[in-house]
Chains A and B, each alone.
Chain A
Amino acid sequence: MNRDIAVVAFAQTRHSAQDDGLTEVEMLAPVIGEIKERTGLTRFGFTCSGSCDYLAGTPFSFVSALDAVGAWPPISESHVEMDAAWALYEAWVRLRHGDVDTALVYGFGKGSQGALREIFTQQLDPYYLAPLGVDPVSLAALQARAYLDRAGVKEDDLRAVAARSRAAGRANPYALHLPDPDDEGYEVAPLRPSDIAPVADGAAAIVLAAGDTARELCERPAWISGVDHRAEAHAPGARDLTRSESTRIAARKAGADRVEVAELHARYSHEELILREALGLDESVSVNPSGGPLSADPVMATGLIRIGEAAARIHDGTATRALAHAASGPCLQQNLVCVLSGESDG
């Protein structure tokens, strides 16, 4: 069944660069409380979350997060071991069934508890990549090098992305407030520390609602006019790292055009340039006005926050059409594009 589904509320933590001594549930609970209060809902037709057990090193850590939601009597619930943007995708599919009208989506990550670069090494192909000890920053730098070589872009262009993102982030009360990039050495060349998303602890939640329920819950719902996600080969040597073909296809399937704002899940400055090209965004589009992941990267929530920030631009009337992008896997392996509109098609 086709029906219009909208983001009707968005809440997030003030992301923190250090461990504030909270458990994941303690970090998440205020966000869930806030979004329940804002929508007036205490029960949802469907609940779906995105998180990564390896961040805390405990199995089924997402189950204890349900304590923050309140799951008794039993609720209809699901989880993805991915960024919560994919939980939103699952909730969107679930709402399309037509038998429930609201869904709660949330994601949370406490990167401060472990060594994220080593944790994400374990996410890689266990035969050819993980045994080498290669980490996500090293892989991202390989992609950056390939992109710089192909596009003729300079390291200064990367620095400009970082500077613009940090400046925007300083105006966002939820982001980390980071100084302008200064003369810094390479973290992994050609990337410098400011080219790399700063790990943060944080959580975010979104409420989706369908049709008239959405109109009741929100003055100006952010209607999902299209959402799609595509994946590419995992092996970094088996694909063209200088382009994001999966983003391009997802954008086409989601009908991504004429957007005024784009929130991109670019965890490295060069990724923004690759994504802009794949999405066909010109200079008239405001990219990552929130500061984007380069101003705060609460892993597993960062992609969902892109959708929330894009929806917030619709909610507050500053945009009528916005694009949100989420990424997963090494070197932009998997990409999700969500188009939000102030006007319902139906």
Chain B
Amino acid sequence: MSSEPNHVVEFPGGYTRSVGPVIGRFLTELRDGRLVGVRTADGRVLVPPTEYDPETGEAVTGEFVEVGPAGTVTSWSWVPRPRPAHPLDRPFAWALIRPDGADTALLHALDLGEFEEGADPPRYLKAGLRVRPKWRAERTGGIGDIACFRPEVTMINAPTRLEYRLRGGRALDRFLAGIAEGRILGHRCPVCGQVIVPMKGLCPRDGVPTSEEVEVADTGTVTTFAVNNLPDPRAPDVPFVSAYVLLDGADLTMLALVAGIPADQVRIGMRVKAVWRPREEWGPTLDNIKWFEPLDEPDVLFERIKDYV
């Protein structure tokens, strides 16, 4: 029915109903911000109350019992696109909620917060979820005095931000100055002879200062890698590959992205070459290297790189 209606059935001002003593008591308590159930002859507590036991048809006792207000979800459905008649205008759940102390469940809307229209149900929405009513400030004695239910608080979200001004240090500054010119620099250790890229001004193995500058190639060998399925704004589309690359002439591996090849075809021992961004975009940052791409060379035997893995 897309066009405007040309026929309407309506009771102007609404349809007035008497509620009787059982439903009336429930609605009166609701107006006061309390949830009550009624006890049946066999001791069960019905919420919302009815005048009869739905199991036996017998009249209920006159005993009203305060229940909840917290309760447990026994089943739910998820509305990704609310309709105009629905109580919430953002995606929400309908839930059967058994208030603590009750033996039956109450149907109501369950608000789980902000969702985009069409969203799938959140994973934590399941039977067993603990919820509480959100009461309206102005209550009139109707089921709508509860605006909706909300999950109990199980988590908080605290602001976390600290600000720093970091310097790279002398060795890293020199390394990045090289990168800004398209060169990859390292230091050779005077004791063990290994080439450390990027240099630190120290050999972490021998604990001695290093100063002999060595330029290494922008080609290398993958020593190990990981396939990433969580998107990262700095990386290619998932699945993308991050790898340790042993640059030719270096003795330490470097963490880098590997692209230009399907993730499931990357392998240990694969030969790769740096893909540099256009020269006019270069700065003193490793971002100058976009990622590494495969070289058309035979793989390096594991035996030759095993000490770097």
A residues near B (Cβ < 8 Å) are 54, 57-58, 112-115, 117-118, 121, 126-129, 131-135, 138-146, 149, 185-191, 233, 235-239, 241
Contacts and interface: CB of A to CB of B under 8 A. Distances in A.
A238 B46 contact: yes
B46 A141 contact: no
- Give the one of B27, B50, B77, B86 with max A CB within 10 A: B77
A235 B76 contact: no
Nearest to B96: A237
Given A112-B1, A239-B54, A143 B79 contact: no
A139 B1 contact: no
Given A141-B77, A142-B95, A241-B96, 5 more contacts: A185-B120, A189-B79, A235-B50, A236-B107, A237-B74
B45 to A, nearest CB: 11
Contact of B8 (A57, A143, A146, A190): A57
B109 interface: yes
B17 interface: yes
A51 to B, nearest CB: 16
B7 A233 contact: no
The majority secondary structure among interface residues of chain B is loop
B23 A186 contact: no
A218 B97 CA distance: 53
Contacts of A133: 83, 85-87
B166 interface: no
Interface of B: 1, 7-9, 15, 17, 19, 23, 27, 46-48, 50, 54-55, 74-80, 83, 85-87, 94-98, 104-109, 118, 120-121, 126-127, 142-144
A317 to B, nearest CB: 42
A238 B38 CA distance: 13
A131 B85 CA distance: 9
Contact of B76 (A121, A126, A128, A142): A142
A235 B104 contact: yes
Contacts of B78: 141, 186, 188-190
A275 to B, nearest CB: 18
B111 to A, nearest CB: 13
Q: Which 8 A-B pairs have the closest CB atoms?
A: A141-B77, A237-B105, A233-B54, A189-B78, A146-B75, A133-B85, A57-B9, A238-B54
B48 to A, nearest CB: 5
Contacts of A135: 83, 85-86
Contacts of A187: 80
A118 B84 CA distance: 10
B104 A238 contact: yes
A58 B8 CA distance: 9
Contact of B94 (A115, A128, A139, A186): A139
A115 B1 contact: yes
A238 B55 CA distance: 9
A189 B98 CA distance: 21
Given A57-B7, A185-B118, A143 B107 contact: no
Contacts of B54: 233, 235, 238-239
B48 A189 contact: no
Contacts of A132: 87, 107-109, 143-144
Contacts of A114: 1
A114 B8 CA distance: 10
14 contacts: A112-B1, A121-B85, A127-B19, A127-B48, A133-B85, A134-B107, A138-B94, A139-B107, A187-B80, A237-B97, A237-B107, A238-B105, A239-B54, A241-B96
B75 A186 contact: no
B1 A142 contact: no
Contacts of B47: 237
B49 to A, nearest CB: 9
A145 B80 contact: no
Given A237-B96, A238-B46, A126 B79 contact: no
Nearest to B146: A132
Given A113-B1, A127-B143, A237-B104, A189 B77 contact: yes
B144 A145 contact: no
A138 B17 contact: no
A252 B105 CA distance: 29
Contacts of B107: 128-129, 132, 134, 139, 142, 235-237
Given A128-B107, A237-B96, A238-B46, A117 B76 contact: no
Contact of B142 (A113, A131, A186, A238): A131
Contacts of B118: 185
Nearest to B128: A149
B150 to A, nearest CB: 16
Contact of B75 (A58, A121, A127, A145): A145
A138 B77 contact: yes
Contacts of B121: 186, 189
A189 B75 contact: no
B185 to A, nearest CB: 52
A144 B94 CA distance: 12
A144 B77 contact: yes
Contacts of B48: 127-128, 235
B143 A134 contact: no
A117 B83 contact: yes
Contacts of A131: 142-144
